[in-house]
Amino acid sequence: MSAVRGHAISYRGDPFFDDDAFVDVEDALIISEGGVITAFGPYDEVKGQLPDGVEVTHHPDALICAGFIDTHIHYVQTGIIGAFGSQLIDWLNHYTFIEEQRFADKAHADAVAKIYFDQLLANGTTTAVTFCAMYPSSVDAFFEESERRGTRMVGGKVMMDRNAPDALLDTATSSYEDSKALIAKWHDRGRNQYAITPRFAPTSTPEQLEAAGVLWKESPGTFVHTHVSENTGEIAWVKSLFPERAGYLDVYDHFGLLGRRSVLAHGVHLTARERGRVHETGSAVSHCPTSNLFLGSGLFHIHDAKDPKRPMHVGLGTDIGAGTSFSILQTMNEAYKVAELNVYPMNSIKTFYLATLGGAEALDLADKIGSLEVGKEADFVVLDPKATPLLAYRSERAESTEELMFVLSIMADDRAVAATYVAGKPAYLRPSAQNGAM
């Protein structure tokens, strides 16, 4: 059993549509046992549920929220963050495909997986939907590290059988068989879950996409994770490769790859009709603002995605390595700016929602993660509004919780993560926090 006290925020719904969705408890107590939250609420109301001898960890100057959820990221691209930007396809050819070939070496994959998880937890991210490489051993490295950390993670082997270097190509048959074996090995093992992962339509033949669709039908509870409508040149390429389909999204729809637990990265240029289809199928889109800006892909329209007539499930993604930071706080910063450029002021209650419960709902995991509710897994992050002198100076002037959240979402990064809890236990403590400073 563990107990953590401090100012906590959470959600009981979607603040894009529900004015009462936000939960703000200035002096909260979170009690967890066996990795699950057993009590949450005002300290004076909940403290009576603490057995004698259970020590309370108090964070009096912090803001506590559910662990951040990264709905789209590539662990195998950790080593190419900050590679000089060009348009998407050039960037893939010049950096990504070269880097991913290194993951044929299991020892290399193991080493990068450790760095990757260190960075996730140091940034307050407790769940991530992750692209591995095409090599099954790269998937093993990812899930083995997740198992050691006790994290809830989603990942899978990339499926590619064309338009990539020979060393990264599989076949429709081998990708099906390898993925099926990895599902049997890792899906629902501990807190690990598997995603069937065709990279994107241009690198898969119709035969491979068909095999992916068949595999998803055969594997209840698994995810699909791919890219869609990131870049206008990519969309034109898809049209040339699949001229019989009505559009990019329709390629996935045709092969049975849309539905609950289908996670589509980017979706920058989805048409109104395509957004309607995402809504109808219950699929989700991962909004990746730092990557979209870095590669000049375009501006995601969150106000269109959250159209009350056909709202889509949307979470935030860092999209490392085209994304420029592991920090979901910095991703919120860029999401706010993109919304501003689209003349849609997005407040901090909405951006924190996208990073927590919104991400969980996008992944169909809101029964397990995303908010500080009794019965959910005890994954949460402790944020320090005084992490830097300027942040402290500005935070002291915040006149409401919403303003404090906004300041954190604009000014903060990994330095503001004082602690990250996974299944009720500290999985990361900032060095200063280990010494009792906050």
Task: Say what the pLDDT of residue 434 is.
Answer: 54
Say if CB 17 and CB 311 are below 8 A apart.
Answer: yes
Q: Which fold has domain 68-326?
A: TIM Barrel (3.20.20)
What's the start-to-end Cα distance of the chain, in Å?
23
Angle of helix 328-341 relative to helix 401-411, nearest 10 degrees, comes to: 100
Contact 230, 268 (CB under 8 A): yes
**Which segments of the chain have a pLDDT < 50?**
435-438
pLDDT, residue 435, reads: 46
Q: Which pLDDT belongs to residue 259?
A: 98
In the block, tokens 């936000």 appear at 22
CA nearest neighbour of 219 among 256, 180, 173: 180
DSSP 3-state of 283: coil
pLDDT at 352: 99
106-122 vs 136-149: helix crossing angle, rounded to 10: 40
CATH 3.20.20.140 residue ranges of the chain are 68-326
**How many Cβ atoms sit within 10 Å of the Cβ of residue 391?**
20
Q: Within a 13 Å sphere around the CA of 115, how many CA atoms are in the beta-carbon half? A: 13
Q: Are the C-beta atoms of residues 300 and 289 closer than 8 Å to each other?
A: yes
Omega before residue 267 within 30° of 0, cis: no
Question: How far is CA 288 from its chain centroid?
Answer: 9
Alpha carbon distance 161, 209 (integer Å): 10
CATH fold, domain 2-67+371-434, is: Urease, subunit C; domain 1 (2.30.40)
Three-state DSSP at 307 gives coil
Residue 64 burial (C-beta neighbours within 10 Å; 0-12, 13-18, 19+): buried
Tally of CA atoms within 13 A in the half-sphere of 225 that contains its CB: 29
Computed over every residue of the chain, the mean pLDDT equals 96
Cα–Cα distance, 252 to 226 (Å, whole number): 9
pLDDT at 93: 87
Backbone angles phi, psi at 337, to 5 degrees: -65, -40
Where in the sequence of the chain do the CATH 2.30.40.10 domains occur? 2-67+371-434
* Burial degree of 295 (CB within 10 A; 0-12, 13-18, 19+): buried
